[in-house]
Amino acid sequence: MTASAREEIDSAIKSNDIMLFMKGTPQFPQCGFSSAVVQILDYLGADYGSMNVLEDQEIRQGIKDYSDWPTIPQLYVKGEFVGGCDIIREMFEQGELRPFLAEKGLITAEA
Ligand SMILES: N[C@@H](CCC(=O)N[C@@H](CS)C(=O)NCC(=O)O)C(=O)O
């Protein structure tokens, strides 16, 4: 990973309590997996930062190296890698995602 990619990723993760590395933007996701995570975060009323990895191949590869995770999307919460689409969807469906984010003061505990 290039030093500039690492710096950009570090900075995005540090400055956003919830940070989503995705394909496309929340308004215009360009992959169904990214879209699914956006829909879940929006449903929960989460405030999150996002980065479109399709705009920068160094970030697209860099985030995989950074997290040691082979795919996009990738969700970070308070500096910790939480997972990709399958993990986020599973946490949501099991009713675990709202309390996970609420305990960190990032969303309300109730809808
Ligand atoms: N099972 C994955 C699905 C995501 C996925 O397979 N992403 C692929 C296709 S969008 C990917 O990022 N491939 C590498 C790449 O496009 O750089 C998850 O839980 O997030």
pLDDT by residue (tens digit) across 39-78?
Answer: 999 999 999 999 999 999 999 999 999 999 999 999 999 9
How far apart (Å, rounded) are the C-alpha atoms in residues 110 and 21? 26
Q: Per-domain residue ranges for the chain? A: 3-103
CATH of domain 3-103: 3.40.30.10
Cα 9 to averaged position of ligand 1 atoms, centre (Å): 18
- The yes/no answer to whether this complex scores an ipTM above 0.95 is yes
Q: Determine if ligand 1 sits within 6 Å of the CB of residue 84.
A: yes
Interval 9-33: pLDDT, tens: 999 999 999 999 999 999 999 999 9
Atom of ligand 1 nearest to the CA of 71: 12
pLDDT at 1: 87
Under 8 Å CB-to-CB from 96, ≥6 apart: which residues?
Answer: none
Is this structure's pTM higher than 0.95?
A: yes
Residue 24 Cβ < 6 Å to ligand 1: no
